[in-house]
Amino acid sequence: MNITHFEVITTASCGTFLALAGVYVKLRGPWRRANDLVDLLLGQPKRPNREAIPSVMERLAGHQEQITKVDAGQLHIIDKLTGLETRIISVEAQVNPDHGSSLYDRVKRIEDQGRTGRHRPIE
């Protein structure tokens, strides 16, 4: 049994084809995932029956705008809280004794005068 040159080439070609087909089958999934990753990074224009996919930079710009709006809202809240804190401090100063000038001290003096029967004009 002699093997001819044609048989050797045919067998080698079939083996090469099968090897390349196996490599294609193995790399098809990772290649698709890599291609999908590139599509996500670079974005895709609108196609028929498919919405446009924004690029990573476009999505980050949108997130930055949202963060800026949130920051502005937080600053507004902080300003309101600061104003409320100032008002609370003022009220606390009036309802705590401070040896004479607070509303608490004035009411205490009026109560004391009522108990002793002496009435002085309110300051």
The rounded average pLDDT for each run of 10 residues, N- to C-terminus, in the chain (123 residues) is: 80 92 88 85 85 86 88 89 89 82 83 72 58
Structure token pair of residue 29: 């999934």
Residue 106: the pLDDT is: 83
Indicate yes or no: pTM above 0.85.
Answer: no
Q: How far is CA 40 from the centre of its chain?
A: 20
Q: What is the pLDDT of residue 118?
A: 64
Amino acid at 16: T
* CB-based burial, 30-50: b 16+ in 10 Å, e otherwise: eeeeeeeeeeeeeeeeeeeee
Model pLDDT, residue 20:
93
